[in-house]
Structure 1
Amino acid sequence: MDNTQHDPWAETVDVILPALNEAAGIRWLLPRLPEGHRAIVVDNGSTDGTDDIAEAGGALVVHEPTRGFGAACFAGLSAATAPIVAFMDADASFDPVDLPRVTGPVASGEVDLMLGARSPLDRSTAWPAHARLANRFLAWELRRRAGLTLTDLGPMRAAHREHLLELQLTDRRSGWPLEMVLRAADAGWRIEEVPVQYLTRAGRSKVTGTLRGTLTAVADMGRILGERDG
């Protein structure tokens, strides 16, 4: 008789980590992944050995040569096999120990899409003012256009893999997170958010770390909003 107890989290969640030169972040976060959460690191053209560090840390490594946040996320989603997928920045700005707060309600069937609302420990360094302002504007647009009472377009998020594929997301740049939320809302998904820690990232962000990066992301998301209205 097999007395082995079944772990309900075993192979339940694939955590997709888009990465472009995130060696330090990957080295820190992989050992912190909770049980039942497998890392899929999508190397988006790194030159700092991110892929080697990820593989050595036990992650599944996917190479996506087409640059873009959405391109990396889609490559990870395509490679995932677990019933639930989570997305998280690979720069150590999120602590993986918070993942069950985001993935748990999806696994239990309470929520269809859960977002991690960023709660910065050091607001000045973890979340610069220009990035907070842009996020506040996008959250307002989501409330106005989709009736969603969200405070943050959180990069840490989770949903069922098959349901995400059915949304047929097309953006391959910075508009991916917004397109996901809008399409999920249009499909009648239950969308909620939960606070998660937001830390000072390892290295400089390609988006929030510079005003230009933030403006580019806002432009991409503005395009998504325009396409929806059209």
Structure 2
Amino acid sequence: MKPIIKVIIPAYNEQESIGNVIADIPKNVNEVIVVSNNSTDFTEKNAANAGATVLSENRKGYGYACLKGMNYIAKQKIKPDIIVFLDGDYSDYPEQLTEIVAPIIENDIDFVIGARVKQYREAGAMTPQQVFGNWLATFLMNVFFGAKFTDLGPFRAIKYHKLLELQMEDKTYGWTVEMQLKALKQKLSYTEVPMKYRNRIGVSKVSGTVKGTIFAGVKILGWIFKYSFK
């Protein structure tokens, strides 16, 4: 029996890229949910035209958008087996979704991170502060928890019932690291899959600004230290 797979895509002003992202998602996905995070362009229209379910979350924040998608799924009669989170900027390769979910389907792994490894990463696709931030966060998780993560990549898959057990709460930049920390605390089985990564379409709302970079860094380190001394 094929697993039910649903994809949640938080998107803020991604009108140029969102159609490409949706078009490249494999056909074994049952539903693509785009959560427009207070977009002021044609993101919602373009996502709907590409065949996605479109939700609107007016509170700005990556976590707010992800939680909106989860709340929508929670109200559905038939629940999915796997949830995939994917960005709407076309920096990831959506067709690699089959690789992200394979460890869950074939090996009963709970949680899979798409790792943006250097050898598959387009030049300039990650800023120096992103590279350093990922290294620091995963290094600290290794020191405090013995974790084997190498990335905080947003392209990730998790069993739906395991996701619910994490009781996710971060509303903004700390969403990805919160998920990984809670997965470690709850002893979920996890693995990473090397992913290709390219320069995004448009300008990043986080790493593309000094303010966004600082806020993201503070959030990520805050979650790590919060869990390290619990």
TM above 0.5, one fold?
A: yes
Q: CA deviation at 1:130?
A: 1.4
Q: Paired residue for 2:12?
A: 20
TM-score by length of 2: 0.91
Q: CA deviation at 1:100?
A: 0.9
- Is the partner of 2:124 in helix, strand or coil? helix
Correspondence 1:116-127 to 2 at 5 A: 116-119=114-117, 121=120, 123-127=122-126
Q: Paired residue for 2:50?
A: 57
Q: Paired residue for 2:76?
A: none
Using the alignment, how far apart are the partners of 2:9 and 2:121 within structure 1? 23
Amino acid at match of 1:221: I
**Runs of 4+ deviating beyond 4 Å:** 120-123
Using the alignment, how far apart are the partners of 1:14 and 1:40 within structure 2? 7
Which stretches in structure 2 are left out of the alignment for 5+ residues? 74-78
- Is the partner of 1:108 in helix, strand or coil? helix
TM-score by length of 1: 0.91
- Is the partner of 1:79 in helix, strand or coil? helix
Correspondence 1:1-230 to 2 at 5 A: 8=2, 12-37=4-29, 38-80=31-73, 81-119=79-117, 121=120, 123-228=122-227, 229-230=229-230
- Is the partner of 1:126 in helix, strand or coil? coil
Q: Kindly provide the CA deviation profile for residues 177-213 of structure 1, in whole angstroms up to 9, marking residues without a partner as x.
A: 1111111111110111010111100000111223332
Amino acid at match of 2:67: F
Aligned length: 222
Decide whether the 8 Å contact of 1:42 with 1:62 is kept in 2.
yes
Using the alignment, how far apart are the partners of 1:214 and 1:135 within structure 2? 12
Q: Kindly provide the CA deviation profile for residues 148-203 of structure 1, in whole angstroms up to 9, marking residues without a partner as x.
A: 11111111110111211111111111111111111111111011101011110000
Decide whether the 8 Å contact of 1:207 with 1:213 is kept in 2.
yes
- Is the partner of 1:24 in helix, strand or coil? coil
**Same amino acid, percent of matched pairs:** 33
Cα RMSD for the two superposed structures: 1.6
